[in-house]
């Protein structure tokens, strides 16, 4: 949903989304430019489930990118 260099900004978005959705979490990415805090929404058992969820939140103005990270829900 979002990626931030400032952890507090990421936590604010996470808190806002968690009031409406289950499965909101932070994932960190350590890179050459520093640490980024990525706010993610949902862990799904398969792509079809993720696509269905994405279709339900895009009308709310939430941008969606489906990421397959290889981990299990």
Provide the pLDDT confidence category of residue 73 given band limits of 50, 70 and 90: low
Q: Which residues contact 30 (CB under 8 A, 6 or more apart)?
A: none
CB 37 within 8 A of CB 7: yes
The mean predicted confidence, pLDDT, of the chain is 87
Q: Give the pLDDT confidence score for residue 21 in this predicted structure.
A: 86
Q: Give the pLDDT confidence score for residue 31 in this predicted structure.
A: 86
Average confidence (pLDDT) over 55-67 = 85
Distance CA 30, CA 49 (A): 29
Checking if the pLDDT of 72 tops 60, the result is no
């Amino acid at each position: 949903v979002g990626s931030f260099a400032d952890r507090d900004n990421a936590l604010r978005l996470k808190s806002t989304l968690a009031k409406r959705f289950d499965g909101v979490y932070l994932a960190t990415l350590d890179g050459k430019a520093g640490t980024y805090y990525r706010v993610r929404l949902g862990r799904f058992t398969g792509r079809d489930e993720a696509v269905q969820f994405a279709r339900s939140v895009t009308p709310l103005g939430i941008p969606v990118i489906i990421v397959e990270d290889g981990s299990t829900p």
